[in-house]
Amino acid sequence: MFFENWLFQLIGLLPQSIAIVALGTAIVKERYSYKQIILAGLLITLLGFIVYYIPLNYGLHVPLNIIIVIFVLRFALNLNILKSAMASLLSFITLIIIELLVYFAQLRVFGISEDFFPTANDLQKFLIALPTLIILVLISILFQVIRRRQYRTR
């Protein structure tokens, strides 16, 4: 979601970027330290933040961010390009599925009108996007825990 206030954009993008790195690296069965995951997430946050302010149609930001994640995973974590692409794509697919499910739940279960989304202020947008972010972070933590337990048993 695009916010007018840069602070809301940054606050949402930071945990999302770290979660995407954590989820992607766990999916492709690569183990990195939490420090490496956080540093890669910080780099993605910085680059993604810049991309959101490039005057493009909103839909074009997603493919650019996918490419950014691929390159950051490749160069910051030395993950091979195929695994970087797979980690990035599967993480973003997971994020999109979560967003769709949360969106439909907000419409159907909580009765939020579709007209609310384009007219909401930044705080309302952030609060609406928060469940998606929390679910993504929880899934990323779960995948990291599972992956790290698998490494311990070997």
102 found inside a domain: yes
Domains: count for the chain:
1
26 found inside a domain: yes
Q: Is the pLDDT of residue 114 over 80?
A: no
| 42-99 confidence digits (pLDDT tens) | 999 999 989 888 888 877 888 999 999 999 999 999 999 999 999 999 999 999 999 9
71 found inside a domain: yes
Report phi then psi at 28, rounded to 5: -90, 10
Tokens describing residue 16: 């999302």
Tokens describing residue 149: 């337990």
16 found inside a domain: yes
- Assess contact for 14 and 43: CB atoms under 8 A: no
Q: Is the pLDDT of residue 3 over 80?
A: no
11 vs 34: CA distance, rounded Å = 19
64 found inside a domain: yes
1 found inside a domain: no
Residues 6+ apart with CB under 8 A from 133: 12, 15, 16, 19
Type of residue found at 15: P
So what's the pLDDT on residue 98? 97
So what's the pLDDT on residue 77? 96
Report pTM.
0.90
| 9-55 confidence digits (pLDDT tens) | 888 899 999 999 999 999 999 999 999 999 999 999 999 989 888 88
51 vs 152: CA distance, rounded Å = 38
104 found inside a domain: yes
34 is in which domain, residue-wise? 6-152
Position 153 confidence tier, pLDDT thresholds 50, 70, 90 = low
So what's the pLDDT on residue 53? 82
So what's the pLDDT on residue 2? 58
So what's the pLDDT on residue 14? 95
> Rounded to 10 degrees, what is the CA torsion of 57, 58, 64, 69?
170
Residues 6+ apart with CB under 8 A from 38: 18
38 found inside a domain: yes
Position 154 confidence tier, pLDDT thresholds 50, 70, 90 = low
